A and B are shown apart, each in its own frame.
Chain A
């Protein structure tokens, strides 16, 4: 199949670059983004074509920047969009959907989408060693997908990360390097390593391609709603890329004729109060975020104190008429339980953050109660169990006898 991506373009000055493993403009250090031939895509894509393909994110192949067929992660994506009636009732809204990437394949987070594109591109560029800087989910995904692709992986993480996320990386045979520092310090180290060793770092020199994978979350939401856009989308923000890419996905679907009406969706960003550079930027109407030197929250997957896409996501939120908020660790835990107990979805801390921020925005009147809302759940609660140990009831331990059960059960028996 044809590669409809044309090259890379600086988001600041517009300078064009050929397709290559580079992530910033050599004139002004602005981030680079993939550009496409949308007119050609429009002629070659249709709803029928997409629906006839297997249910994976690669059914949107024309809008992803690789040559030929994907070589890594062909089964990623197409996670469920769930009508969340019980949570809607709790939040006091009419129509609520959950896009559930907590069950994405293979590593239970939305990162499988970006990694599938980045590593397919890494193979195309001829890299044999790949790596990433990660708050955990990306680490799991790079390690698993690299194992499947036969690539060697070096994964750099803050050394205080949740044990489940470290174990869930090492299990795939990746070289895991714990760095005594914040995520931003890990990221900077990786930039230097990428320069020195010329490896394919998915979120550094492969970043323009990598980031495009996030768009598939948006395509799938619109497809599952019957080829239309929701009125409101709430997404978690760490680096600030996902929220922009979901919106870009909607814009592209209109541009290439997959959806008939223009995008009017309002985008809302969710952060933890202990690391809120982007929501603070939106709320205080600043041009640029103020970096947070030492993030302090249980929501480690969103704990990026100096998000490079911060200014872009903040502008996008304001441009669409949305808003951003941040919530305390207690609210995050409370909403992880709320989501689990109303919809049967065990999301990680970032999911609790998204639900809690949605609740806050609804209570503030920023999201109307009678319009359609989609919440993006991006990771799985099995990876962040530590923060719930105090919050959930301990099981009752009893002897294997009916008397012992009768003693702890307060309901009336049917047979006496």
Chain B
């Protein structure tokens, strides 16, 4: 199954897990399944149905904004990472 990697500050809402196995053929479907399993994550990740702007979602290290956003296809062997955006230097 596809795994969603949960950043440490959100793990309290995911039974303390670092990875949550999810079902779904796209990032959007996978995140919907994540929220079904961990309902408290919905408000953290989405605002009025839209992904919050300061969270980056990656599929195998590629930002979904450079792919097909939430329509990006995922396979069972791929990992989805949720990473807070950080500014640079």
Asked if A319 lies at the interface with its beta carbon under 8 angstroms from chain B, I say: no
Which residue of B7, B47, B61, B63 contacts A28 across the interface (Cβ within 8 Å)? B47
Q: How far is the CA of A311 from the CA of B85 in the complex (A)?
A: 12
Secondary structure at the B interface, as helix, strand, loop or mixed, is mixed
Asked if A2 lies at the interface with its beta carbon under 8 angstroms from chain B, I say: no
Contacts of A26 in B (CB 8 A): 9-10, 44
Which one, A181-189, A252-260, A382-390, A393-401, is touching chain B?
A181-189
Which residue of B54, B61, B87, B89 contacts A29 across the interface (Cβ within 8 Å)? B54
Q: How far is the CA of A195 from the CA of B83 in the complex (A)?
A: 10
Do A29 and B43 touch (CB < 8 A)?
no
Closest Cβ–Cβ distance, residue A9 to chain B (whole Å): 15
Which residue of A195, A288, A307 contacts B87 across the interface (Cβ within 8 Å)? A307
Asked if A207 lies at the interface with its beta carbon under 8 angstroms from chain B, I say: yes
Q: How far is the CA of A29 from the CA of B41 in the complex (A)?
A: 12
Instruction: Given the known inter-chain contacts A28-B47, A185-B61, please indicate yes or no for A138 contacting B89, CB distance below 8 A.
Output: yes
Asked if B39 lies at the interface with its beta carbon under 8 angstroms from chain A, I say: no
Do B7 and A195 touch (CB < 8 A)?
yes
Asked if B72 lies at the interface with its beta carbon under 8 angstroms from chain A, I say: no
Asked if B8 lies at the interface with its beta carbon under 8 angstroms from chain A, I say: yes
Do B44 and A114 touch (CB < 8 A)?
no
Closest Cβ–Cβ distance, residue A343 to chain B (whole Å): 26
| Interface residues in A219-249 (C-beta closer than 8 Å to B) | 238-241
Do B54 and A12 touch (CB < 8 A)?
yes
Do B89 and A134 touch (CB < 8 A)?
yes
Q: How far is the CA of A27 from the CA of B45 in the complex (A)?
A: 8
Which A residues lie at the B interface, using CB under 8 A? 12, 22-24, 26-31, 111, 114, 132-135, 137-138, 183-185, 187-188, 190-192, 195, 202-204, 207, 211, 238-241, 288, 291, 293, 304, 306-309, 311
5 contacts between A and B (CB under 8 A): A24-B85, A26-B10, A31-B87, A190-B86, A306-B56
User: Knowing that A132-B89, A133-B88 are A-B contacts, what are 6 other residue pairs whose CB atoms are under 8 Å apart, sorted by A's residue number?
Assistant: A22-B9, A137-B89, A188-B61, A192-B81, A238-B89, A239-B88
